[in-house]
Amino acid sequence: MDQDEKSFEILVAEYRGMVHAYCLGIVGDAHLADDLAQETFIVAHRRLADFRPGESFGAWLRGIARNLIREDRRSAARRHVVADSDVVAGMEDVYARLDDKSRGDSWNERLGLVRGCIEALPAVMNQAMALVYGSGLAVAAAAARAGASADTFQRRLSRARDKVRECVETKLRLERVL
Partner 1 sequence: MSRPEPLPRDAADRRRLGRQLAVDGLVASALTGSEAGRTAAAAPDAAAGSMASRLRTRRRRGMGLFWPAACAAAAACALAVFWHFGTDAGPRPLDGDIRTEDGQTAASLSTGQWYRAGSEGARLSAPGGGSIEISGETVFAPLQRGVMLRSGEVTGRELASAELRAGPLAARAAAPGTSVLLARPAGAEPDEAAVAVLSGRALAGRGTPGASLSAGHVLACGWGVEPRPFAAGELRALIEERRGALAGRGECDRYQGILGEYAASVERMRRELQGLPPGTPEAEAMESRIASLTECAAAHQRRVPQLKADAAEHARIDRREAFLDRVIRESRTGQPTATAAVHGPESPACGVLMASTSP
Chain residues binding partner 1 by CB under 8 A are 2, 5-6, 9-10, 12-13, 16-17, 20-31, 33-35, 37-38, 41-42, 45, 73-74, 76-81, 84, 86-95, 98, 108-109, 111-116, 118-119, 129-130, 133-136, 161, 164-165, 168
Closest CA to 76 of 29, 17, 37: 29
Helix (H, G, I), strand (E, B) or coil at 115: helix
Spatial distance between the Cα atoms of 84 and 159, rounded to a whole number of angstroms: 26
With respect to partner 1, which residue has the nearer C-beta, 54 or 88?
Answer: 88
With respect to partner 1, which residue has the nearer C-beta, 54 or 85?
Answer: 85
Write down the number of H helices and E strands in the chain. Answer: 9, 0
With respect to partner 1, which residue has the nearer C-beta, 29 or 100?
Answer: 29
Spatial distance between the Cα atoms of 68 and 48, rounded to a whole number of angstroms: 16
